[in-house]
Amino acid sequence: MAREWSSCHQNRNNQTTREDREASITALAGLQKQILRVEQLREIGFSRQAVSRRVASRRLFTIHRGVFALHPPPYSRDQLRVAAVFATGPDSLISNWESASLQGLADLQPPLIAVCNPTGKGRSCPTLQVHRSAVDPRDRRIFRGIPCTSADRTILDVAPTASVAALEDLLLAADSKGLLKRPRFEALLSERYGMPGTRKTLDLINDDPVVTRSENERRVSSTSPAARSGTADPRRDEGWRPCRRAAPIPSTRADRLAPER
């Protein structure tokens, strides 16, 4: 998808024959999971009328306004993600739970594909959930050729609505895949201190040194001899409170998150 937002000049002389145009469509679509933008078709040499004719003759299939597939539905989830990014602007990224699903952090398929961009473009599309939010370049990723938010940013984006168990599972999954980058995660958490979801995240990082992997394990942990007797867990600490500058996660939690890769 390296050319997904290349500048499009309406230069129809750069493709001299129909065969040239067809070859260009095939080559470009092959890089973009068979999804194309109308601006790209214009750049190749098709007029708006020619694009409309191809749609009418079922040689192009509309997914969103100005976004087409080379074949009819059904479409894979990744194809729909590419189409969502194309439909919502050049700075758009797959985000929130959709980004978690894309990166394999959560085994779910949200009913609407979530996208974030700084303008809110695409909010009128009923099949998309568009969040107006700027994303730092450090938090942008390309996963399977699809622009998305980093695991660090994704986890904090869903934290306000995620249950503690779901948030814990996301942290474990991101850590196990090497996608959780400790310094950046700490910095983002510091920036969001006091906002919804940060308290839960801090509690998971600070108050439960051994992250349990299921509700049953959490129940067993809560009924342990130390818990029943009220004895303080020697592994606990005073907790981490982010400030203007990201503070390090306490050393007692170092075994919780894998080293920066």
- Compute the radius of gyration of the chain from its Cα atoms: 23
Which residue, 100, 127, 128, 125, is CA-closest to 114? 128
* Cβ-contact 120, 132 below 8 angstroms: yes
In angstroms, rounded to a whole number, what is the distance separating the alpha carbons of residues 70 and 91?
24
Whether 103 contacts 143, CB under 8 Å: yes
Q: What is the pLDDT of residue 1?
A: 56
Would you say residue 61 has pLDDT above 60? yes
Report the SS3 class of residue 37. strand
Query: Rounded CA gap, 63 and 43, in Å?
Result: 20
Q: What is the pLDDT of residue 231?
A: 44
CA distances, 175 to each of 104, 151, 190, 258 (Å): 12, 9, 19, 6
pLDDT at residue 205, as a whole number: 82
**Beta strand pairing call for 146-149 and 140-143:** antiparallel
User: What mean pLDDT is reported for the chain?
Assistant: 81
- Angle of CA points 51, 52, 55, to nearest 5°: 90
Residue showing tokens 């974030």: 116
| Confidence at 151, pLDDT banded by 50, 70, 90 | very high
Say if residue 88's pLDDT is above 70: yes
Mean pLDDT of 235-243: 38
pTM of the model: 0.75
Question: Does 232 have pLDDT greater than 70?
Answer: no
Structure tokens at 95: 């985000």
Per mean pLDDT, which range of 107-111, 135-139, 212-216 is the poorest?
212-216
pLDDT of the residue at 201: 94
Residues 207-226 pLDDT 10s: 544 344 444 444 434 443 33
